[in-house]
Structure 1
Amino acid sequence: MRILNLCETAKGGVGIYQRHVAALSSRGFEVHHLVPDSDADFLGADLRLETFRRKSRGLGAIREMLSRFESLLESLDPDVVFFHSTFALAALARMRMRGDRRPAIYCPHSWAIATCGRYDPKRPVVRLIEGRLAGLADRILCVSQNDRDIAQRLGYRGTFSVIENAAPEPNPNAVDTLFADDPDNLQLLFIGRLDRQKGFDILFDAMRYTARDDLRLHVVGDEVRHDGSTIWMSRRAIPVGWIGQDEIDSWYRSADALIVPSRWEGLPLVVPEALRNGTPVIVARRSGMEKLITPGVSGEVFDLDRESLATCLHDLDKARLRAMRPAARAAYEDRFTIDRMLDQLATMIRDVAAK
């Protein structure tokens, strides 16, 4: 069975998800991916990649995406099309408008409505467009129960499945010695885009507000959407840039904890990635993320504001975090293994294709 995945952007979590979906080849699927040419290097050369031209996000990039997508529908003739994130809905709508009824799956990777405040004038428009277009898919795949709850509360159309994000086993060559020359300081990790969604501005502000000189925040990632405030790094916040998947486990394994201060999420892949390395996770009480860990056992939880996060940072203890590592690894094995996710995905795709 041939699957075509479509992404308007493929850096960060959505890109990593493409690598996970590609592993469906072990379940008898032929998996292809249409992504921006600017993101192809992030995914690696071992995937069946097709690209469209994109210098920046906008209408021009969407037109290029639609043109390349329509060409691939003819040349590849996929059995199932898998649309990822909000802007891919444009391609789903175009496919249906042209009378193409082949099986389609849509995964929001966190609903766009989550970006709108309660009184945001865009909120009714986003709700209408997203809620109706998503229903054009034969199945809506939510990567967390929270995403499904949002859709059902808002009356979004469609048939829903929940398959939680997962992560493969870590790189067996990963090391835990990246910070061996700085053993006394608390080594914290942030991984992701430096945009508003990921909440790095709140974390950075809390770091400055915390009266601890032994905190070291290693910032793995960069700007993608350019919708956040410009942030100047300091001695305690160390920019790293994007790290390849062959190296990322060494960063998790060497850190005392991962911090996830996101304003909204589906189920951030950094959580199972950290847990697979036995790294405790400190998450914001947003989007159901607090249900991904057990406070005081596999991580900690904070309210998403500067004062609460600063208090959480102030109370962190290196020895206590180290003692959490076995429980963090056990949480991965119990809930977030890639085999569980792939088995569920394969069953869902075959079910959609059969209808």
Structure 2
Amino acid sequence: MSALKVLHIGEYVVGGMATYLNEVVAYQRQHFDVYLLMSAYNSATSFDLEPDHILQYKYKRHPKYFLSAMWQIHQAIRKLKPDIIHIHSSFAGLLARSLFFIQPRKAKIFYCSHGWAFLMDTKPLNKKGYAFIERLMAYKTDVIINISNHELESSIQLGLPAAKSKLVYNGVREREDNGANSISELDRDSEIVQLLFVGRYDRQKGLDLLLQILNENPELQRYLRLYVIGDSVLENNEWSFPDNVIRLGWVNNADIDRYYQQCDAVIMPSRWEGFGLVAVEAMKNRKPVIASRRGALPELVEHGDSGYLFDIEHSHELLHILKHLNKDELKKMGEAGYVLYKNKFHAERMNEEIVNLYHHAHAGHVAQGASVSGHFELSKRAGDVHD
């Protein structure tokens, strides 16, 4: 029997999305014939796939590009004839799944929003609109993957089908390179606490909240230094960066672990997070996480054990944490976070669960009309995943 053909479809595949997809395709290429289709604009270019299996479509996030993008996606699907189509992010989910209201589909459709739009910090009317679209698109979806329990429970409460909804926590793999080749951008000052922020310069990630605290409390500059990996993607923000903030821009994914390893803690002042892959990257590198109590972050960070949690509505909570950081305590918390990562957020666990879902869905597809007992055996071989 030939290997399943899997087509992953994304929109802007950069940052955490690129990290996630690289983990997934690197694992799946060992088992399946895997392709990745994404926007030619605002997407990373380095993935653990054969070059001819990395495809792009011409697109920018504007309504005038939508029909063209849908046509290009349709053409790719017609050419490849995949068994599994796995769609990532809200806009890609809309563009790809809309096709199946006007054309038949033979593939099993998997969808992961990587953060529900209706859970964003936005206007109530917008949230209702996003929820309506997702409920409609669910009719053309076989499996909906949620990346946190917060996402799973919230989506079911808003009317997405519970029978199609699954929980698969994100995961990342450990790398053999332990940072032996030192990177000099992070100053190993024995006294100053080195914090690291990784993410887009967008409202979601809350970097503006952190910068405001640093600007309003210049005394923090004496014992605190913030390194920022990332840049603008969706928004062009003009923020004031104090002297103790060092901007590094985007960093090659193959090198980023070395930056984690050289900091004392990672900070995530997000307004919302469907998951928070940066937190797992930090824990993998034995670094504690200072995070907001938003979205799924409280599922990842154990306050006082593997890091600190704070309420972004009360800036004094974060200020208090920043003023009382202790390097020895941070090191202990980093070790606790590493244990949590190994038990709960390793890439092998994530990838096995996704592959099990693929097999289960495909077995059900090809076995239509088979006996009940035969279907049971196929499902049992597919293995158990989170429901």
Normalising by the smaller structure, the TM-score range is over 0.9
- Structure 1 residue identity aligned to 2:304: G
- Structure 1 residue identity aligned to 2:207: F
Distance in 2, matches of 1:273 and 1:346, equals 22
Alpha-carbon displacement from aligned partner over 1:231-289 (angstroms, at most 9, x marks no partner): 13221111111101111001100010001111111111111111111011111101131
Unaligned runs of 5+ in 1: none
1:26 Cα offset (Å): 5.3
Distance in 2, matches of 1:99 and 1:177, equals 52
Asked if 1 retains the 8 angstrom alpha-carbon contact of 2:171 and 2:345, the reply is yes
How do residues 198-237 of structure 1 correspond to structure 2 at under 5 angstroms? 198-210=205-217, 211-213=219-221, 214-226=223-235, 229-237=237-245
SS at match of 2:250: coil
- Structure 2 residue identity aligned to 1:339: E
Report what 2:354 is aligned to. Answer: 345
Q: CA RMSD in A?
A: 1.9
How many pairs does the alignment contain?
A: 352
Alpha-carbon displacement from aligned partner over 1:162-216 (angstroms, at most 9, x marks no partner): 0000001035142476435533211001001110111111111122234422211
Report what 2:8 is aligned to. Answer: 5
User: Please, which of 247, 265, 283 is the counterpart of residue 255 of structure 2?
Assistant: 247
Report what 1:138 is aligned to. Answer: 142
- Structure 2 residue identity aligned to 1:191: V
Distance in 1, matches of 2:48 and 2:143, equals 29
How do residues 291-302 of structure 1 correspond to structure 2 at under 5 angstroms? 291-302=299-310
Distance in 2, matches of 1:233 and 1:134, equals 43
21-30 vs 100-109, greater mean Cα deviation: 21-30
- 1:279 paired to 2:287: yes
Distance in 2, matches of 1:135 and 1:257, equals 43
Identity within the alignment, %: 28
Report what 1:127 is aligned to. Answer: 131
Asked if 1 retains the 8 angstrom alpha-carbon contact of 2:188 and 2:262, the reply is no
How do residues 25-104 of structure 1 correspond to structure 2 at under 5 angstroms? 25=28, 27-44=30-47, 46-47=49-50, 48-54=53-59, 56-88=60-92, 89-104=94-109
So what's the TM-score if we normalise by structure 2? 0.86
Report what 1:322 is aligned to. Answer: 331
So what's the TM-score if we normalise by structure 1? 0.93
1:336 Cα offset (Å): 1.1
- 1:106 paired to 2:111: yes
Distance in 1, matches of 2:66 and 2:56, equals 12
Asked if 1 retains the 8 angstrom alpha-carbon contact of 2:42 and 2:233, the reply is no
Unaligned runs of 5+ in 2: 365-387
Report what 2:379 is aligned to. Answer: none
Asked if 2 retains the 8 angstrom alpha-carbon contact of 1:261 and 1:283, the reply is yes
Distance in 2, matches of 1:8 and 1:26, equals 21
1:332 Cα offset (Å): 1.2
Bigger radius of gyration, 1 or 2?
2
SS at match of 2:179: coil
Report what 2:278 is aligned to. Answer: 270
Distance in 2, matches of 1:251 and 1:194, equals 18
